[in-house]
Amino acid sequence: MRYVDGPAVECDLHVAADPARVWELVTDIELPARFSPELRRVRWLDGSRGPTLGARFEGHNHHPALGEWRTISHIVRFDEPRAFGWVVLDPDNRFGGGPTDPAQPGASWQYRLTAEDGGCRLSHSVRIGPGRTGLSLVIDRAPENEEQIIARRLGALRDAMTGTLQGIRDLAEQPR
């Protein structure tokens, strides 16, 4: 797999909870920071107080190999209670992609909920690119290792996403 191919990963699990409760959790943009090894904090922009199509939020991330960086995300899918998706941009040109363009995001993320067995199937997916990301910088340093670098990154994302899904499931299945 090469970067230009749009490497992607998707994870899913069953949540034995009311899909409305799961939807409430996946649309809480601050929640993933509780489980993510990279995402540190998130805040709504433009006076928004919650998720709607077109709303924007700022994220702050940290990775041992890349340090800290800021992102701006745009909600591009809001199909309550089935799908919640956003694209991630590099507003500070940290990764050398030039002006930000939601049509050329560094990543596209999504949660999908499907009713299943008294609860729901919750999936979490990401597609990297086509815009530049921290992964681009790592590949620039060793282009001959691009496929291994991408495979390692997808594995790390899979692990992080699985942890986030498990955290959401644990919260959703708790009595209120």
3 state SS of 76: strand
Q: What is the pTM of this model?
A: 0.95
User: Rounded to an integer, what distance in angstroms lies between the CA atom of residue 148 and that of residue 7?
Assistant: 12
Contacts with 109 (C-beta within 8 Å, 6 or more apart), sequence order? 73, 85, 86, 87, 88, 124, 125, 126
Q: Report CA torsion sign: 34, 87, 92, 2.
A: positive
Helices (H), the chain: 19-26, 134-141, 146-173
User: Rounded to an integer, what distance in angstroms lies between the CA atom of residue 31 and that of residue 116?
Assistant: 23
Q: What is the pLDDT of residue 97?
A: 87
Q: How confident is the model at residue 87 (pLDDT cuts 50, 70, 90)?
A: very high
Domains of the chain: 3-173 (3.30.530.20)
> Shortest CA distance to 26 belongs to which of 96, 100, 102, 78?
78
Q: What is the pLDDT of residue 175?
A: 87
Contacts with 154 (C-beta within 8 Å, 6 or more apart), sequence order? 1, 7, 8, 9
Amino acid residing at 83: A
Tell the burial category of 41 from Cβ atoms under 10 Å away from its Cβ (0-12, 13-18, 19+): exposed
Rg (CA), the chain: 16
Mean of pLDDT values over 124-146: 97
Q: How confident is the model at residue 176 (pLDDT cuts 50, 70, 90)?
A: confident
Q: How confident is the model at residue 99 (pLDDT cuts 50, 70, 90)?
A: confident
**Residue 90 near residue 97, CB atoms below 8 Å:** yes
Structure tokens at 15: 């949540």
